[in-house]
A and B are shown apart, each in its own frame.
Chain A
Amino acid sequence: MILIVAEHANGKLSKSTAEMVTAARGAGVEGPVTILVLGAGIAAIAAEASLLAEQVLVVDSAKLAQYSPETWAAAIAFVAAEGEAKLVLIGGSRSGREYSPRVAVKLNAPLLEDVIQLKQDGSATRAQRYTYLARVTETVEASAPLVVVSVKPGIFAVTPPAAEAAEQFDVEVELPELRVQVTGKTKSQSARIALAEADIIISGGRGVGSPEGFAALVEGLADKLGAAVGATRVVVDAGWRPYAEQVGQTGKTVQPKVYIAIGISGAVQHLSGMNKAKTIVAINRDADAPIFQVADYGIVGDMQQIVPEMIRLVSKPG
């Protein structure tokens, strides 16, 4: 079987799960596509998953109420071994990328990390992934009876839900005790769409001048377009914006339909997080800013004048 570990948040299946189903079906590996749902009180999520796969396995346990890489890896490795999985697909989210190596080690399997393409080729599993701060695309392969793969979000198409639900099976798994004690949690609170799920991202850099400038220009335009908000590291380090909005090497990697960069100069570390956007738009005072080298559209000029005008224009139907 091909085992997909469901990603979910706030009681809902994440888009990345339906993307992994597409990756699984296109991989050319035989066996039923199986979604594994881990958590506590996850019946609704399992029901959603059952419309995407041939079967759904559910480990619903109070011990999984709090995510931990150790418990997740233990549950996944157990199910993959019992089910004789040939391929285990894990989301390329921050959590997925920290528990997938544990799963690979437990199963004595190779790990293909953050892949953008996946195909069985004879006895080898071949994948493509970005390397060197996303400036290079490398093709890698592993030959093993079982391969663990983390799948970059936002790359594969979303598999639409089927009309009929697949069967669900409850699985009992022995889980390790938690050693890391979580003493506090700050959730990034935003009514906006998440960066990883957004078709449109409006992102701001130091050039917006101040937290107020960011709110007026970047959030202002985002709200009109139903877009997610991104930020550069400088802006996050200055405390203007929460870390959850950071795009780049140490933040999120995004691949939206359009990325509108306002007051962003375009350091390599930032570009590595967004240079795969289908369309890149840059608005910056400095004509020599590196962001213009990767831009499809742009304006060299004063964003304080340009962006409010754009906000006014997109507020009325074109």
Chain B
Amino acid sequence: MKILVYVRQVPDAEATIAIANGAVSLDGAKLVLDTMDEYGLEEALRFRDAGAPAEIVAVAVGLARNEEALRSALAMGADRAIHVESDAALDPIALSSVVAELARKEEATLIFCGGRQADWDSDALGAAVAERLGWPQLTWTNHLELGGDQLTGRHDVDDGNESFTVPLPAVVTTQQGLNDPRYATLPNIMKAKKKELRKESLATFGVQAAVKTVSAEMQTRARLHKILQGKDDPAGAAAQLVEMLRTEAKVIA
């Protein structure tokens, strides 16, 4: 079987981001493989470690920086990588047709996507890819087991969680808690340099963005910062806080 793992290079959660000319600027920001994508890759690697005859293909679409995400994926253990390189900013719905097309070409039967992208805060890619392929989807999974061509597991839904069984092919999206992704070891990082990283041109996919970003601004809400010292007189500080919440902020009765 072939497993496709979609990966992206995004700002680290602690990275400083700035706005320049009405758009987000990542100049100087520390960029990493999206941890949401790492969970998917780790899960695929675990299936293979457990004996599943799986070839794991890491896939990225977009800016040159995503090559780093593919290198990280190869170093963690992916067999090879495909980078559809482009400067175009594709929204997840447009992007999904590229990923679906790659899945068809590769004859993949399982696709992992991150549950929520750390840069565009989007959940849409996995579901959109599933729809384009006519496959079922399981989003926000936190436990998975592969048995032949059947996937069982557990995932979160609106009001709790569900256990499920689904025959492959399927698209799966991840979340924190699914697993603990491994670190790439030095020998594996060296080995990864020899693995195939194929470049493809977005032009061959004939896709155009349907959503464009007009402007961006940092979301800073001015906060009051009325912080009391409660070390010496905790009861007094508690009383003062309750009073402020009642009469000043008027948020409690």
Chain A residues in contact with chain B, CB under 8 A? 9, 67, 69-70, 73, 93-95, 97-102, 104-106, 109-114, 126, 129-142, 144, 179-188, 199-200, 225, 233, 236-237, 242-244, 249-250, 257-258, 267-269, 272, 275-276, 278-283, 287, 292-302, 305-307, 309-310, 313-314, 317-318
Interchain CB contact under 8 A, B165 and A181: yes
Q: Give CA–CA (A283, B215) in the complex, Å.
A: 36
In this assembly, does B19 line the interface, its C-beta being within 8 Å of a C-beta of chain A?
yes
Contacts of A199 in B (CB 8 A): 251
Contacts of B119 in A (CB 8 A): 131-132
Stretch at the interface among B64-72, B189-197, B206-214: B206-214
**Residue from A130, A183, A188, A292 within 8 A of B227 (CB atoms):** A292
Q: Give CA–CA (A186, B125) in the complex, Å.
A: 27
In this assembly, does B92 line the interface, its C-beta being within 8 Å of a C-beta of chain A?
yes
Chain B residues in contact with chain A, CB under 8 A? 11, 13-14, 17, 19, 24, 91-93, 96, 115-116, 118-128, 130-132, 136-140, 142, 152, 156-167, 175-177, 210-219, 221, 223-231, 234-235, 237-239, 241-247, 249, 251-253
Contacts of A280 in B (CB 8 A): 223
Q: Give CA–CA (A236, B253) in the complex, Å.
A: 30
Closest-by-CB residue of B relative to A259 is B251
19 cross-chain CB contacts under 8 A: A97-B124, A101-B93, A102-B127, A104-B124, A111-B124, A111-B128, A132-B121, A134-B219, A137-B217, A140-B214, A186-B160, A258-B251, A276-B219, A279-B251, A297-B224, A297-B244, A299-B241, A313-B242, A318-B253
**Residue from A111, A134, A243 within 8 A of B93 (CB atoms):** A111
Contacts of B139 in A (CB 8 A): 69, 94, 98
**Residue from A98, A101, A137, A302 within 8 A of B96 (CB atoms):** A101
Contacts of A233 in B (CB 8 A): 176-177
Contacts of A293 in B (CB 8 A): 223, 225
Contacts of A200 in B (CB 8 A): 251-252
Q: Closest approach, in angstroms, between the C-beta of A29 and any C-beta of chain B?
A: 17
Q: Closest approach, in angstroms, between the C-beta of B148 and any C-beta of chain A?
A: 15
Contacts of A279 in B (CB 8 A): 245, 249, 251
Given A136-B17, A258-B252, A300-B231, 16 more pairs with CB closer than 8 A: A69-B137, A69-B139, A114-B122, A126-B214, A133-B121, A138-B214, A180-B138, A183-B152, A184-B162, A242-B160, A257-B251, A280-B223, A297-B244, A298-B241, A305-B234, A318-B242
Q: Closest approach, in angstroms, between the C-beta of B54 and any C-beta of chain A?
A: 21
Inter-chain contact total with CB atoms closer than 8 Å: 283
Q: Most B CB atoms within 10 A — which of A95, A112, A233, A299? A: A299
Q: Closest approach, in angstroms, between the C-beta of A177 and any C-beta of chain B?
A: 11
Contacts of B165 in A (CB 8 A): 180-181, 183
Interchain CB contact under 8 A, A132 and B131: no
Interchain CB contact under 8 A, A67 and B167: no
Interchain CB contact under 8 A, B160 and A187: yes
Q: Give CA–CA (A179, B166) in the complex, Å.
A: 6
Q: Give CA–CA (A179, B171) in the complex, Å.
A: 12
Q: Give CA–CA (A309, B242) in the complex, Å.
A: 10
Interchain CB contact under 8 A, A295 and B223: yes
Contacts of A275 in B (CB 8 A): 219, 221
Interchain CB contact under 8 A, A295 and B225: yes
Interchain CB contact under 8 A, B17 and A101: no
Shortest beta-carbon contacts, A-B, top 10: A301-B230, A110-B210, A309-B238, A184-B163, A258-B251, A305-B234, A101-B128, A101-B127, A101-B124, A299-B230
Contacts of A305 in B (CB 8 A): 230, 234-235, 238
Asked if A111 meets B91 with Cβ closer than 8 Å, knowing A105-B96, A313-B238, the reply is yes
Interchain CB contact under 8 A, A98 and B127: yes
Contacts of B176 in A (CB 8 A): 233, 237, 249-250
**Residue from A67, A73, A141 within 8 A of B212 (CB atoms):** A141
Interchain CB contact under 8 A, A306 and B140: no
**Residue from A134, A142, A244 within 8 A of B121 (CB atoms):** A134
Q: Give CA–CA (A230, B152) in the complex, Å.
A: 29
**Residue from A95, A132, A282 within 8 A of B158 (CB atoms):** A95
